[in-house]
Amino acid sequence: MPSRRERIYDIIFEADTPLGKAFDVVLIISILLSVLAVMLDSVPALHARWGAFFYFLEWLFTVLFTVEYLVRLWCIGKPWAYARSFYGIVDLLGVLPAYISLLLAGSQYMLVIRLLRVLRVFRVLRLMRYVGEAQALTEAMRASRRKITVFLFTVATLVVIFGSLMFLIESPEAGFTSIPRSVYWAVVTLTTVGYGDISPLTPLGQAVSSVVMILGYAIIAVPTGIVTVELSRSMRYQTGRVCPGCGKEGHDDNARFCKFCGAELDPGHPSGE
Amino acid sequence: MPSRRERIYDIIFEADTPLGKAFDVVLIISILLSVLAVMLDSVPALHARWGAFFYFLEWLFTVLFTVEYLVRLWCIGKPWAYARSFYGIVDLLGVLPAYISLLLAGSQYMLVIRLLRVLRVFRVLRLMRYVGEAQALTEAMRASRRKITVFLFTVATLVVIFGSLMFLIESPEAGFTSIPRSVYWAVVTLTTVGYGDISPLTPLGQAVSSVVMILGYAIIAVPTGIVTVELSRSMRYQTGRVCPGCGKEGHDDNARFCKFCGAELDPGHPSGE
Amino acid sequence: MPSRRERIYDIIFEADTPLGKAFDVVLIISILLSVLAVMLDSVPALHARWGAFFYFLEWLFTVLFTVEYLVRLWCIGKPWAYARSFYGIVDLLGVLPAYISLLLAGSQYMLVIRLLRVLRVFRVLRLMRYVGEAQALTEAMRASRRKITVFLFTVATLVVIFGSLMFLIESPEAGFTSIPRSVYWAVVTLTTVGYGDISPLTPLGQAVSSVVMILGYAIIAVPTGIVTVELSRSMRYQTGRVCPGCGKEGHDDNARFCKFCGAELDPGHPSGE
Amino acid sequence: MPSRRERIYDIIFEADTPLGKAFDVVLIISILLSVLAVMLDSVPALHARWGAFFYFLEWLFTVLFTVEYLVRLWCIGKPWAYARSFYGIVDLLGVLPAYISLLLAGSQYMLVIRLLRVLRVFRVLRLMRYVGEAQALTEAMRASRRKITVFLFTVATLVVIFGSLMFLIESPEAGFTSIPRSVYWAVVTLTTVGYGDISPLTPLGQAVSSVVMILGYAIIAVPTGIVTVELSRSMRYQTGRVCPGCGKEGHDDNARFCKFCGAELDPGHPSGE
């Protein structure tokens, strides 16, 4: 029979018991509420009226998350490994700012650290039925990271060259006061964001801009193509067929033999989501 | 021989008789005209001049749609099931506002409800030859909903973190007056909309913006990839013809013989496009 | 031996002789120059200085294109069929405005008709080696037109509903003065264009806008997915294998038998562009 | 045993020795630093304060890159071929502006030429493990260049026709002062950039704009589809392993046995990702 520590571990680290699921739902709601409170507190009008209430909420959630953090440390097998893991650090960063604000006069910079709490939602998602989905996405991202790097270098080169070109063509009155600022304009234009805070005034500048826009419009096809191809690969592996010989997964729909050990596979089930 | 009720049912609920098709065409034109009238009536200049005419039109369409709604209730087998179905509620919502405006001083909020009428167009589309097409799209959407959820959570996390970061970096003068407003800016930027109502003024803010823009430019690849892969799956299944000779699949709609063994195929089902 | 008329036909309607190619190159340059002249003439400063020269150019090109049009009529087998074809009408529209301007005081509306000349470039492209490419694109477009229609109806419904919702939420001061104008805003936002001429000012309006933006950001995946899947189908057919039995094209890379008549095909060549 | 010249060749032209890799890393950092210095020097405030330092840096990098250029010429087999190659010219253009500025009063136009240095980064990338990745991208681009050309011609035609249409509809007050400027607006709108420097004011103009926006929103699917299909082709060919047992292709990189017949495959070549 599992000890109390093991049962608590199942509740807060797993999601396959009713209690574990309930804990996850409560946790995700608490996280979202605490993030919402920090955000609303930054609105001057709301801070003036509800500031004390938001202060109370912040401490309520801080105490709750501190208790949760300590319980996680207590019931896990390797507390130190957890404390140094990505989610362990995020958990700690979610509660530290409140305590630091007691010592130091509350720095604004603590705000963003507090909001990093929102990352904790992903742990809960991981536990629930979204694991496989996130894995396919992460897999595709991982597989395409080098192509994406080459693409980002190309984009960086384009914005540097077109940005400095526009710095020569356009006058400072149009907003092109320096090369970094012109490169910022090139990013705004190439990514098709187009704030309009800096926009070309001369015919030549508008012609060059048009080239940058059409370029940006066309090359967005590249990351899309890369991710689509990789996703279609990583999603092909989702069929969940296991080799009866070596136990490995990752077989294509049309595979008849295991590609790792050569054993015959069971016929594929009609795959799908 | 079908009763009058059955014949009327065929006309208004089906689209395979000439009368049924004519009814659908008249209905779709009436819906679009009534939506157009409500929209144009909201333009002050047009309301001043044609207000009475629009008022007359609104009542004309209301009476027409009321009669249609009652006839639908009368000729269908299970009127109560229809009344509670999605399209039954939309049909009712399309006529209710006019009657309510007789009792209550006409609330503005009735306007949007009136315009929900536009949803009725989809029922007519469903009846016509667009069924299969819409199904493939809905299927792909349904299959990718979990991946899309993970993607939307990632987007939400990114806009919260980058929005609060920009709240610290930029001054209120640039428009970053609170975190919710900065998060709004982050949504405007990440989705490459770029109104320009709030835009960074400091070099550091512009650098962070550039990162957000390029991020938004690159990660749009993710939903595109997901939908493309799912669509290519759901569209492949639309032509699930099997060769009676060799049992293989993958035949085109216009194929008469198996491309693998040359055996004659069964005639294709009308599988859409 | 071909008659003079046949030789001239080969030159102006075909592109497989050196003379035919030279004619196409000269024609495409003339079209682009004449379009450029019309465009530059509309710039007030240039019109003031070079107006007479542009006027001369316009007549030069008009005479040239008139001669070309008449020669086309003369050397083609069925002049009347050509005159009523798409390109025949475009050819006529390219020269008519100049003659009409002699009779009527030059209407501005003739400008756009003159610029329709630019469409003539596509005939030349069709003749050159770009035929197959354009065909694959047109084929994919044709095959996906119903799905695109469903998608466009969905977009239209979304902009009507969100536009009228924003008309209620936002005040006329923010630019939401009528429903048609609010629908225009919804189009600007959903398509991620984002002029910023109308943008929400209230927190609720900004929240609804954020939903519209993320929606627009996500559903762009749908037409992209549709076109990608259809293009990948229509490009599969490009292998150019001809059935020795019935002479039809359109066989897949892995086909061994003709899908139209069941005859055995030659083994596929290593396809490519 | 390799001569000194051969050893130096290996260091600066190859990346498979520790020294060669170290050289590449130092080179890439130098290039990025020198580009950063030129960019920052263009900011008036920084130029006023650090101008002399940036001037010193520029000469430091110029001397370094000159020495590197001369050593490259010395140790390569065919110096003249290298000097005329793409990267040879980029290398020369990276150092020439500084020397020219000694003779001529420093022209602004030298700035952009200096920044072309950033292109040198791609040579280093080519040497490192990103070769295969870039090749797949370049391959896909090359294969789809004709379809992209047809697409760009279509976009050009659309912006000319819609631009001149808007020139007629909208007044000069809205910014539509000439056809070239209206075409610029059409590019800004069709590519979904949307600066907002020129935006329609009349209802008819806004209606036409909405058509252009939805068109731009929908046809972005075309280049994306093209590149996706070509990328999926060029990436499929990267693992062109053939089964020695049944002759079928389509094996994954990590496959050891044929998934169709179970025969052992030859070990995979290091085919990139």
- Does C273 score more than 50 pLDDT? no
A85 confidence band (pLDDT: 50, 70, 90): confident
Mutate to test the interface with A, among B179, B181, B234, B242 (most CBs of A within 10 A): B179
Backbone angles phi, psi at B200, to 5 degrees: -65, 145
A255, two tokens: 């595979």
Task: For residues B195-218, give the mean pLDDT.
Answer: 91
Q: Is the model more confident about C111 or about A13?
A: A13
User: Which residue from C minimizes the CA distance to B119?
Assistant: C157
Query: Are the CB atoms for B164 and B182 separated by under 8 Å?
Result: yes
Q: What is the pLDDT of residues D112-123, one digit of tens each?
A: 777 888 888 777
Query: Are the CB atoms for C58 and C38 separated by under 8 Å?
Result: yes
- Does B82 score more than 80 pLDDT? yes
C39 near D CB under 8 A:
yes
- Does C242 score more than 70 pLDDT? no
Residues of B in contact with A120 (CB under 8 A): none
pLDDT of residue D66: 93
Mean residue pLDDT of chain A comes to 82
Task: Please say whether the dihedral angle defined by the alpha carbons of residues B30, B35, B37 and B40, taken in this order, is positive or negative.
Answer: negative
D184 confidence band (pLDDT: 50, 70, 90): very high
Residue C29: C-alpha distances to residues A125, A251, B145, C23, D267 (Å): 60, 56, 51, 10, 55
Interatomic CA distance for residues C182 and C197, integer angstroms = 12
Interatomic CA distance for residues A201 and A198, integer angstroms = 9
C190 confidence band (pLDDT: 50, 70, 90): very high
- Does C186 score more than 90 pLDDT? yes
Rg from Cα positions in chain C: 26
End-to-end CA distance of chain D: 35
C202 near B CB under 8 A:
no
User: Which residue from B minimizes the CA distance to C140?
Assistant: B273
Q: What is the pLDDT of residues A164-185, one digit of tens each?
A: 899 988 988 888 999 999 999 9
- Does A235 score more than 80 pLDDT? no
Q: Which residues pair with C264 in a beta bridge?
A: C257
Q: Which CATH number fits domain C4-126: 1.20.120.350, 1.20.1090.10, 1.20.1250.20, 3.30.300.280?
A: 1.20.120.350
Q: Is the model more confident about B255 or about C7?
A: C7
Nearby residues of A213 by Cβ (< 8 Å), 6 or more positions away: A189, A190, A192, D187, D188, D191, D193
pLDDT of residue D108: 64
- Does B272 score more than 60 pLDDT? no
* Record: contact D42-A195, CB cut-off 8 A: no
Q: What is the pLDDT of residues C118-132, one digit of tens each?
A: 888 777 766 655 556
Interatomic CA distance for residues C29 and C39, integer angstroms = 15
Task: For residues B180-188, give the mean pLDDT.
Answer: 94
C152, two tokens: 């466009």
Task: Please say whether the dihedral angle defined by the alpha carbons of residues D50, D51, D56 and D62, taken in this order, is positive or negative.
Answer: positive
- CATH code for the structural domain at B143-234: 1.10.287.70
pLDDT of residue D269: 44
Scan residues 167-196 of A and list those with Cβ closer than 8 Å to B: 180-181, 183-184, 187-188, 190-196
* Amino acid letter, C40: L
Distance of residue D38 Cα from the nearest chain C Cα, in angstroms: 33
Please tell me which of the candidates B196, B207, B228 has its beta carbon nearest to residue A228.
Answer: B228
Percentages helix, strand, coil for chain B (3-state, rounded to 5) are 70, 0, 25
- Does A33 score more than 60 pLDDT? yes
pTM for the structure as a whole:
0.84
Backbone angles phi, psi at D264, to 5 degrees: -75, 140
Please tell me which of the candidates D129, D184, D220 has its beta carbon nearest to residue A206.
Answer: D184
Interatomic CA distance for residues D61 and D120, integer angstroms = 14
Interatomic CA distance for residues C167 and C159, integer angstroms = 12
Mean residue pLDDT of chain D comes to 82
The residue ranges of every structural domain in chain C are: 4-126, 143-234
For chains B and C, CB pairs below 8 A equal: 189
C1 confidence band (pLDDT: 50, 70, 90): low
Task: For residues D116-134, give the mean pLDDT.
Answer: 70
Residues of D in contact with A225 (CB under 8 A): 140, 224, 227-228, 230-232
* Record: contact B42-C199, CB cut-off 8 A: no
Interatomic CA distance for residues A37 and A22, integer angstroms = 22
D74, two tokens: 């010395």
Across chain D, how many H-helices and E-strands are there?
12, 0
Please tell me which of the candidates B143, B156, B222 has its beta carbon nearest to residue A227.
Answer: B222
| Maximum pairwise Cα distance, chain A | 80
- Does C16 score more than 90 pLDDT? no
Q: Is the model more confident about D190 or about C90?
A: D190
Mutate to test the interface with A, among D31, D86, D111, D112 (most CBs of A within 10 A): D112
Interatomic CA distance for residues C180 and B55, integer angstroms = 18
Residues of C in contact with A193 (CB under 8 A): 194
Interatomic CA distance for residues B154 and A121, integer angstroms = 10
C215 near D CB under 8 A:
no
Task: For residues A21-47, give the mean pLDDT.
Answer: 89
Please tell me which of the candidates D147, D156, D220 has its beta carbon nearest to residue C137.
Answer: D147
Nearby residues of C58 by Cβ (< 8 Å), 6 or more positions away: C34, C37, C38, C41, C98
Task: Please say whether the dihedral angle defined by the alpha carbons of residues D240, D245, D247 and D252, taken in this order, is positive or negative.
Answer: negative
Place of tokens 């020294």: D19
Mutate to test the interface with C, among D153, D208, D213, D248 (most CBs of C within 10 A): D213
Residue C260: C-alpha distances to residues B168, B270, C21, C235 (Å): 68, 18, 37, 19
Residues of D in contact with C108 (CB under 8 A): 168
Backbone angles phi, psi at B140, to 5 degrees: -60, -40
B44 near C CB under 8 A:
yes
Nearest CA to A219 among B125, D220, C82, B17?
Answer: D220
Interatomic CA distance for residues C71 and C91, integer angstroms = 12
- Does A270 score more than 50 pLDDT? no
Q: Which of A210-224, B150-164, C91-105, C252-266 has the lowest mean pLDDT?
A: C252-266
A199 near D CB under 8 A:
yes
Which secondary-structure segment (H or E) carries D100? helix D86-103
